Structure 1
């Protein structure tokens, strides 16, 4: 699972890198982003244009009658996303990149660990998005979920699940709404394993408040 992450992002650079148009009210930097809060998301529309927008971190399918579902939707298993009614439509053609500085996972004894890339480039976490509104008179709300996969390597020592990371070489197909999810989701899961093994990780203190100090290590582990 992925229940918290950090995002201190250079939006201008992200727009240049992915040829995306910036949307309004992008989230401020945070080192303690929780489900239900706004996150930044890169997606591509049906005309091939890419956008960097703010989205609610809890996917709401178009058919949902209420924004409060009976189950959490901030994470979706990549192995079953195409088979679940909540995620199936998004998994087929509404895939996104969720840029992050790093993410947190907890051990069974509730010790938090921080995972981050070895360099300065942000992580590209695989996500799904969905537009939702309560009625025909209300504006559309962009919502999203983070895809997870079976943890491997160092990540598996902390938790049994981890976010799916998207390789730069796969970005074009991942965002392309014409590429069927049945073909690309298995590829993304497989390639993401190699990216995850390169991450640095270390134990951090309790996640209280916000700020870069939350990512400071108690015991550095590479």
Structure 2
């Protein structure tokens, strides 16, 4: 799963790199982003225009009448997203990229590990999005989820799930609403595992507050 991540990104440069329009309301840098907070996502509309926009990190399906669901939706399994009522429509045509500089995962001892790529400062996490509102009188809310797959390599030693990473070669088809979903999901999952194998990780102290100090290696754990 992916329950916390970090973002310290120049969104203006990212918009240029992705040929996307930059929307207002994007979040400030954070090293402790949690579900239901506002995050940045990159998505492409039906006219072919890309946007980097603020989104509520927990997917709310079209038929929901409240933000409060009976189950968590900040993550979705890529293996089953196309078949799940909650995520199926979005998996077919509302795919997104969630930019991150790293993410945390907890091992069986509840020790947090920080995963990042020293050679690739920005990670593209695969995601899905949906515009939602509880009634016709309410404003629309952009909501999203991060896709995960079975963990492999070093990540599997920490947790059994990991976020799906999108490489530069898959950005265009992933964001294109017209792409055939099933083969794209399979390719993203397979290539995402290869990208994850390139990540570095280290243990960190318990996450309290916010700031770049949270991703510093935990000296106590390293000394054991």
TM-score range, shorter chain: over 0.9
Q: Is 1:177 aligned to 2:173, yes or no? A: no
1:105 paired residue number: 105
Cα distance between partner residues in 2 of 1:121 and 1:45: 26
1:121 Cα shift?
Answer: 2.8
SS, match of residue 32 in structure 1: strand
1:116 paired residue number: 116
1:152 paired residue number: 152
Cα distance between partner residues in 2 of 1:44 and 1:164: 19
Cα distance between partner residues in 1 of 2:85 and 2:104: 28
Q: How does 1:29-108 map to 2 (within 5 A)?
A: 29-108=29-108
Cα distance between partner residues in 1 of 2:194 and 2:188: 10
1:20 paired residue number: 20
CA deviations on 1:171-201 (whole Å, 9 max, x unpaired) are 0000000012112100000000110000010
In the alignment, structure 2 segments of 5+ residues that lack a partner are: none
| TM-score, with length taken from structure 2 | 0.97
1:168 paired residue number: 168
Deviates more, 1:80-89 or 1:119-128: 119-128
CA deviations on 1:126-157 (whole Å, 9 max, x unpaired) are 00000100110111100000000000000000
2:128 paired residue number: 128
4+ aligned runs moved over 3 Å, structure 1: none
Cα distance between partner residues in 1 of 2:134 and 2:65: 7
1:118 Cα shift?
Answer: 1.9
2:6 paired residue number: 6
Q: How does 1:203-222 map to 2 (within 5 A)?
A: 203-218=203-218
Cα distance between partner residues in 1 of 2:120 and 2:145: 24
| TM-score, with length taken from structure 1 | 0.97
Cα distance between partner residues in 2 of 1:183 and 1:54: 28
Aligned residues: 220
Cα distance between partner residues in 2 of 1:120 and 1:154: 18
Cα distance between partner residues in 1 of 2:122 and 2:77: 22
1:117 Cα shift?
Answer: 1.0
Q: Is the 8 A contact 1:6 1:103 kept in 2?
A: yes
SS, match of residue 83 in structure 1: coil
1:120 Cα shift?
Answer: 4.8
